[in-house]
A and B are shown apart, each in its own frame.
Chain A
Amino acid sequence: MGLGKTKPLHLVMPVWNRGTRGIRGLSRAVALEGSQKKGRSLLQFLADRFYDVQALREYLLQKQVLKVHQKNRPFTYIKERFGPHAAGAYFILKQGGAVKFQGKEWIRSDAHGHFSLDFLKFQAVPVEAVNASGCAINYQGLDSLLALKELRSLWLQRCPHVDDWCLGRLHPLANSLQELSLAGCPRISERGLASLHHLQNLRRLDISDLHAVSNPGLTRILVEEMLPSCQVLGADWAQGLPSGPDEQSQDKASPIPA
C-alpha cells in the first residue's frame, strides 16, 4: 500500500487507537505528490518524534494564518476621520487592488505598494467600483467593503480566501450592486452561489473557472433561474456534458483499472 511508514506485522489498516500515525498516514498518502514529498516526509519524520519540531511546524502554520488576518484588519481610525468610503478605498489599495470613485478615475497602487492619499480629500464621494482581483481579502476584510453602500461593481477574481461564507455576507449591497465577478476563486462552490439571490439588482455575474463547483453547467442554469434579470457569464452548460462520440467509445474501450 502507499503508506510511507509500514509496520510489517500490521496488514490491516490501523485501528483508531493504534496511535496518531495511522489516521494521518491515510490522508497524507492522498495529499502529497512529487518533489515536495521527500522534504516533507523528513520534516514529518522529525515532527513525529520530537515535540519541539511538531510545535515549530504548528507555529509556522499559525503564522501563515495570522498573516492573512493582519492584512484584513479594519482601519477604524480612517473610518471615523474620513468616512466609510475612504476607509474602504484605503483597505483595497493597501491589499493591492484598485478603486474607482464616482466621477473620478481608477486609483491603483504601484508595484511597490505605494499609492497617493489624495482620495482622502473626497469627502462624501461614494466608491463606485472595486477591483480586488488577486487580493488576500477574507471574511473579516469584507467588513470594509460592506460599508460602501453605493458600490456598483465588485471584482473578486482569483481571490484565494473568498469562500462561500463571504458570499453569504454580500446581501447589504443588494440595493446597488450591479456587477459581480467571481472568476477563478478556488474556494467558491455552488452552495455559496445560492446565497446570491439577495442581490436582485445584479445585471452581470461572472462565474467562470470555479473549480470547487461540482457541476458548472447545471449550476449556471440554476443560477440563471434564480436571478432572472441577470446575465450570467462563464460555466458554459456544455462543460458538464461528455464531449462527443469519440470520448464515449474511448471510455468503453479502456480497461478496468486493477
Chain B
Amino acid sequence: MLRRALQLGLGRGLLGRRLGTHRGGSTLDQNGKMSEIKKKIQSVLPGGAWNPPYDTSYLPPEHSDVVIVGGGVIGLSVAYWLKRLEKPRGAIRVLVVERDHTYSQASTALSVGGIRQQFSVPENIQLSLFSVEFLRNINEYLAVVDDPPLDIQFNPSGYLLLASEKGAAVMESNVKVQRQEGAKVCLMSPEQLRNKFPWINTEGVALASYGMEYEGWFDPWCLLQGLRRKVQSMGVLFCHGEVTRFVSSSSHTETTSGEEVTLKRIHEVHVKIDRSLEYQPVECALVINAAGAWSGQIAELAGVGKGPPGTLQGTKLPVERRKRYVYLWHCPQGPGLETPFVVDASGAYFRREGLGNNYLGGCSPTEEEEPDPGNLEVDHDFFQDKVWPPLAQRVPAFETLKVRSAWAGYYDYNTFDQNGVVGPHPLVVNMYFATGFSGHGLQQAPAVGRAVAEMVLDGHFQTINLNPFHFSRFYLGEKVQEHNII
C-alpha cells in the first residue's frame, strides 16, 4: 500500500515537474523513472505485495448461489437435481462442502444398501418408488459422455418382513397402504412361508409381507461415485473443508396475531479448509443442510434452537448421531440364492452377500442399549447377545456360523418421529433441511434431492408432496411416525 502511494506521489510529482520545466530537469527524471521501474519489478516478483502465483484453487469461490453442507448421497442428489431442473442451463452456481473426501464416517458408504417400499407412511413409499425408478434407469440419468456405464449391482430379491401376533394387524394395514401407492407386496401365511423358504422356522410368525418387485439391495458407493462424476460434469463446485460459522442478519416482523418474530437470513458461510486454520467466507443465497449425522451441529451453528424452550425459536433440530453395527458372517449350510432381505419381528435383520454363503446382518438396539456414538468401534458382544439369538431361532441353520468381520456406521436419527426433515426452516429463511432419515436416507436420496430442488427452484413441491416432513412439525408436535424402522 505504502509503495503504491509512493509511486502515485512520484508519478504526480514527475508530471507536475514536467509541466513546469524545460529540458533542464532530465537527470532527476531518469533517477525517478528508474526507481519507479525497480519498485514495480519488485512487487511482481515473489515476496512482493502482489503475488499472482499463489495457488488458491483449493479454496471455495467467494460467491455461490447455493451451498450444500455435506457431500454424501443426499447432498449430491440435491446438487444433481438443482443442476438438472434449473432454467436456463448454468444459471445456478452450486457449491458442495464435504469435510471428509474419503467418506470414512459417512453413512452412505457404510450402509447395508437396501431399498424397500414397505413403510407405513405413504410419502416414504412414494419416495422409495421414485428412487427405484431412478436406480433402474441410472445410466440414463447419470450418463456422462465417454465414461463407462454404472453398475450398481442391484439384487432384486425383495424384503421379507415377519410379524408376530401383536403386529399382524398393523402389517396388514401397512400392506394395504403400500399397495395403494403402487408397491408390489404380497402377504404370506406361515404355511406359504414354509413352502417358499424351507429354511425359515415359522414359530411365532403370524404374518409375513414379501416385496415381489422394486425391492432389494445395491452398492451405495457406486451410486455415490456415479452422482459425483455426473455432478462434476454438470459444473458443481466441490470444496474439501468444514463449515465453521454462518454470518447472518436478523429482521423483526410481527405476525398477524401481533407476536414479534425474528427472521434470520444467512449471508455468508465460513468454510475452514482441512488441516489448516485458513477459512474462506462464501457469500451465498441458500444453504442446504445435508450433513447427515452431523446436521444437528450445523443447525446449531445457524442459530436453530436458540431461544426459550417451547417456542419456535427454541425448537432444536432433533437429529442426532446413533451408532449401528453391521456384522458379516459365514454359514456353510445357510439359506441359498433366493434369500430376500429378512427382517424378523424382533428387529434383527440379515441378507445374503455374494455367492459364498456369507450374510450381512444386525439389529437396532433399544433406547436403553444405545451405544456411545463418539467413535465407530464395534461391540462384538452385541452380536452374541442381541443379534445371533433371534436370527438363530428364526433360521436354524444360523446356529453354526462364524463372524468374518463387522463395522459400525451412523444413523442420522430423528429422535422425534424417525422420518426425514425436508424443506426450509420457518425462521432461518434460507436454510433448507434434507436430513434425519434414520436409516432409510440412502433409499430415498434421489427422490429427496428432487423434492428439495423443486422447493428451491419453484417454491413448492411438485412431484411428491413432502409437506408433512416440514420442520414446523417439531414445534407443533405433529408426529409422522414411521413404524417400519429397521
Where the two chains meet, the residues of A that have a C-beta atom closer than 8 Å to any C-beta of B are 15-18, 20, 23-24, 27-28, 30-32, 40, 44, 47, 54, 57-58, 61, 65, 139, 164-165, 167-169, 171, 189-195, 197-198, 214-215, 218-219, 222-223, 225-226
Contact = CB atoms under 8 A, between A and B. Distances in A.
A226 B338 contact: yes
Contact of A40 (B143, B146, B148, B355): B146
B355 A17 contact: no
B7 to A, nearest CB: 33
Contacts of A54: 145
B337 A17 contact: no
Interface string B123-166: 00000000000001000100111111000011111100000000
A23 B231 CA distance: 11
Nearest to B352: A194
Given A16-B240, A194-B338, A28 B153 contact: no
B336 interface: yes
A105 to B, nearest CB: 34
B232 A20 contact: yes
Task: Give chain B's interface residue range (CB within 8 Å of chain A).
Answer: 35 or more
Contacts of A219: 355
Interface centre among B57, B156, B228, B237 (most CB of A within 10 A): B156
Contacts of B216: 168, 191
B237 A65 contact: no
A194 B155 contact: yes
B336 A191 contact: no
A197 B238 contact: no
B212 A24 contact: no
Contact of B156 (A20, A58, A192): A192
A192 B337 CA distance: 10
Tell me if A's interface is mostly helix, strand, loop or mixed.
helix
Contacts of B239: 17
A190 B338 CA distance: 11
Given A165-B154, A191-B156, A193-B337, A61 B212 contact: no
Given A17-B239, A28-B146, A225 B156 contact: no
B101 A16 contact: yes
Given A16-B101, A27-B148, 12 more contacts: A17-B57, A20-B235, A24-B229, A31-B148, A54-B145, A61-B143, A65-B140, A164-B155, A165-B136, A167-B156, A168-B216, A197-B337
B355 A168 contact: no
Interface centre among B145, B213, B336, B356 (most CB of A within 10 A): B145
Contact of B336 (A17, A61, A165, A226): A226
B50 interface: no
B155 A191 contact: yes
Nearest to A219: B355
A118 B431 CA distance: 64
Contact of B144 (A16, A24, A167): A24
B183 to A, nearest CB: 14
B155 A197 contact: no
Given A40-B146, A226-B336, A168 B156 contact: yes
B147 A190 contact: no
A18 B156 contact: no
B233 interface: yes
B338 A214 contact: no
A215 B156 CA distance: 18
29 contacts: A15-B58, A15-B240, A16-B101, A17-B237, A17-B238, A20-B233, A24-B144, A24-B229, A24-B233, A27-B148, A31-B146, A31-B147, A31-B148, A58-B143, A65-B143, A165-B136, A165-B156, A171-B212, A190-B337, A191-B154, A194-B156, A194-B338, A195-B156, A195-B158, A198-B212, A218-B356, A222-B337, A223-B337, A226-B336
Contacts of A194: 155-157, 337-338, 352
A24 B147 contact: yes
B146 A222 contact: no
A219 B157 CA distance: 15
Question: 8 closest A-B pairs (Cβ-Cβ)?
Answer: A168-B156, A197-B338, A191-B155, A222-B337, A17-B238, A194-B337, A57-B145, A195-B156
B233 A218 contact: no
A58 B213 contact: no
A117 to B, nearest CB: 33
Contacts of A189: 153
Nearest to A65: B140
Contacts of A31: 146-148
Contacts of A171: 212-213
Interface centre among A15, A16, A24 (most CB of B within 10 A): A16
Contacts of B57: 17-18
Contacts of B158: 195
Contacts of A169: 213
Interface string B225-266: 000110011010111100000000000000000000000000
A227 to B, nearest CB: 9
Contacts of A192: 156
Contacts of A58: 143, 145
Contacts of A214: 355
B131 to A, nearest CB: 14
Interface string B48-63: 0000000001100000
Contact of A191 (B101, B153, B233, B237): B153
Given A139-B136, A165-B154, A168-B156, A61 B145 contact: yes
A136 B315 CA distance: 55
Nearest to B157: A194
A17 to B, nearest CB: 4
A27 B355 contact: no
Contacts of A44: 145-146
Given A17-B57, A20-B233, A20-B235, A222 B154 contact: no
A169 B238 CA distance: 39
A57 B233 CA distance: 13
B145 A47 contact: yes
A58 B84 CA distance: 13
A222 B339 CA distance: 12
Contacts of B155: 164, 191, 194
Contacts of B336: 222, 225-226
A28 B153 CA distance: 21
